[in-house]
Amino acid sequence: MMTEMRKIVVPGEVLGDVKEKNSGYGTFSEDGKIISKFLGIPKDSSGYLSVVPLSGVYTPRRQDKVIGFVISVEKVGWVVDINSPWTSFLSLSEAVDEFVDLKRTDLRRFYDVGDVIYAQVSDVRGSDVQLSMKTPITRKLRGGVTVKITPSKVPRLIGKEGSMINTIKEKTKTIIRVGQNGVVWISGEKINKAIKAVKLIEEKSHIVGLTDEITKLLSD
């Protein structure tokens, strides 16, 4: 049965029964039923019913990889904007391995206002997030441009085992880093084309046949 569009559910819509399935992300259970919390796309995977929201702010989770913008330099670290109502902080101890004499060192030596970083979320407490730059994959991102998409659409941008993002990178000869917080960093040759592709995914993430549209866009 061919459908033009993936089914959409609204908050409060009943998805299934607790006797048959489990409540996954984006759902809650009440009176024996599993119910959607969001306006989004329902999924059924290994007996877990979940809903991928079509919109919403980024909710940080430990070990998420995010792209952030340094917005201020403090005494013992940096405040970083991670495109979320959660305030995030990168402490000196999570950023630098060497010993730093605070009396003599200007922290701007390491990161300054305006720097773009690819970081990892190390802790979430209340409305505060702690970032770390100590895992191998984290780094300062130099040059390039950033684009924001709805955080829940990041998996679609990446694609199955990276298929979608790799296609875009190949065809536009760019390096692309995707933060789980919806910030995308692009550097390389056909940046504008890559941005177009990213924006198309943001717009049509819920439409079946998107992959074909992207392929078409990238071949032009």
Q: Which residues bind another protein (CB under 8 A)?
A: 5, 8, 10-12, 14, 26, 28, 30, 35, 37-39, 53-57, 59, 85, 87, 126-127, 150, 152, 206
* Contacts for 123 with CB less than 8 Å, ≥ 6 apart: 62, 129, 130
Least distance in Å: CB of 8 to another protein?
5
Question: Which residue number, 36 or 174, has a Cβ lying nearer to another protein?
Answer: 36
CA distances from residue 110 to 81, 105, 145, 216 in whole angstroms, order as listed: 17, 10, 21, 42
Least distance in Å: CB of 82 to another protein?
12
Question: Which residue number, 43 or 206, has a Cβ lying nearer to another protein?
Answer: 206
Q: Please name the amino acid found at residue 215.
A: T
Least distance in Å: CB of 125 to another protein?
9
Least distance in Å: CB of 39 to another protein?
5
Question: Which residue number, 68 or 138, has a Cβ lying nearer to another protein?
Answer: 68
Sheet with 40-45, edge to edge strand ranges? 22-23, 48-53, 40-45
Question: Which residue number, 22 or 105, has a Cβ lying nearer to another protein?
Answer: 22
